[in-house]
Amino acid sequence: MTTPTPGRGTADREYAARALDSLSNGITIVDDAGTAVVANEAWRTFVDATGIDPAVTRTAATYLRTLRRGDASLDDIADPTTPLDLTLTLPYQESDDARSHRLHISPFVYDGEAFASLSVAEDARAKLPTTPLKTGAIDAAPVGITISDYTRPDNPLIYANAAFERITGYDVLETLGRNCRFLQCEATEEAAVQRFRDAMAANESTTVELRNERADGEEFWNAVTIAPLRDERGVVTNWVGFQQDVTARKRAEEALSTERDQYELLNQIIRHDIRNDMAVIRGWGEELRGNLDADQRETLSRVMNAAVHTQELTEEVRDLTAILGSEDPALEPIDLGDVLTREIDQVRSTFEYQADSLVVDGPVDLPDECLVSATPLLSSVFTNLLDNAVLHSDGGAVRIDVSVVADAETCTVRIADNGPGIPDSQKRAVFDHGEQGERSSGTGLGLYLVDELVTQFGGRVWVEDNDPRGTIVCVELQRVR
């Protein structure tokens, strides 16, 4: 047994030693370097049983250094009215069982130096009970978990699990007694920190993603959730925090955002330039049509079809960009009848130059207010299907019949044409990216886009044979009551 400092009489030292040894609780005193300067017999028994002395003395020393780094002066530590004591429930870190020790740290000043007394309660050596603050599940959790003491100045941490140490690089014992703001850095946004302050002021849970800094100075994105813990009176006494390193995801999002911006710029250029040129071609084509003979009008029809197809591609690029930009679109009730009416009128207008060989019949038995779950891009589904039925015909008169079959749960649109049809082996493949029909000269984007959109709407699309020839494309959509 040693005394805290030299200069005291032998009688005082012996009296203090006898007093400490008479206590059943294990007690030791350490300085801010973590050196134990006095310990009683109960403490030595505790250390011999657990081998934990280095861990707990570092904890006390770290707390002392934290106080000295903060606003606490030696006078504050010496003032018995200053609430600086700290009680922790920590595992036996050198033991394989689930026991814990309840460690009480009490800082004090002696002869102008800061010390901390540590005591371990006798009943804390039993098996660790399951409590909100300490369970084996928390220790083994893959996310960082911390618990702070809201009843003490500056809300210091009193617990941190191993995952928190892996994520931040800080030794668990270095974090105890400190406010979790030590993870903040120059890149930490004040708005993110303010969200924590607001949540704590309102005693409410919140989740914030912010830049933090590891012990080695490396910045990382930390997804932090905090939630209040209340005592039996409903008073918030602790805050639990969950930390997850989401740096990889944030970097991927940033890269994806840049890629989407580039897609959008390309989309704008293509749509502006190509659409304008195609509009000029179609306009002049209509002017020429009245002055041509039958063979020349056939040639013009081919030119106009190419112009329409090119213009259609610009719309596909736009819609594909919209799909890439949203993995979880906000669905809304869309009036299916309105969409079909507009799109049928549009295909008639688009192919007006061959009106004498094109018939498009719309549904006549559509239920009133047939609302389906979709987005405004639903119109793009039927633009592609109707245009395809015209552009991919094999010559001669083109006939398209649009009908709707509705039940309590779904509305199924059937678009039937009299074209060359699709072989059974290709009926599913035509919806794959880059796939084309046997007679198609397109990119294969149109039907891929249709499939992607309908899937996003929670529906499905498939192909059937028409009788006596041609194809029926069926689009099943979820009905909204």
- pLDDT tens readout for residues 133-144: 444 556 656 778
- pLDDT value of residue 288: 78
Residues pairing with 149 in the sheet? 238
- pLDDT value of residue 14: 61
CA-based radius of gyration for the chain: 38
| Residue whose entry in the numeric block shows the structure tokens 């633009």 | 383
Question: Residue 47 and residue 132: Cα distance in Å, rounded?
Answer: 27
| Residue whose entry in the numeric block shows the structure tokens 């020349």 | 296
- Pair of tokens at residue 14: 């012996």
Residues, the chain, total? 481
Question: Residue 35 and residue 46: Cα distance in Å, rounded?
Answer: 17
- pLDDT value of residue 443: 44
- pLDDT value of residue 35: 78
- Pair of tokens at residue 290: 């009245």
- pLDDT value of residue 214: 94
CB atoms within 10 A of CB 113: 13
Angle CA(72)–CA(75)–CA(76) in degrees, nearest 5?
Answer: 40
Contacts of 60 (CB under 8 A, 6+ apart): 30, 34, 105, 116, 118
| 111 Rama class: left (phi>0) / alpha (psi -120 to 50) / beta | left
Terminal CA-CA length for the chain: 83
Q: Tell me if residue 9 falls in helix, strand or coil.
A: coil
Residues pairing with 115 in the sheet? 31, 108
Phi, psi of 323 (to 5 degrees): -65, -45
State which residues of the chain have pLDDT below 70: 1-25, 49-56, 66-73, 76-102, 121-141, 256, 259-277, 279-280, 282, 309, 311-328, 353-355, 364-365, 367-368, 395, 433-446
CB atoms within 10 A of CB 217: 8
Q: Regarding beta strands 144-149 and 236-245, do their DSSP bridges make them parallel or antiparallel, or are they unpaired?
A: antiparallel
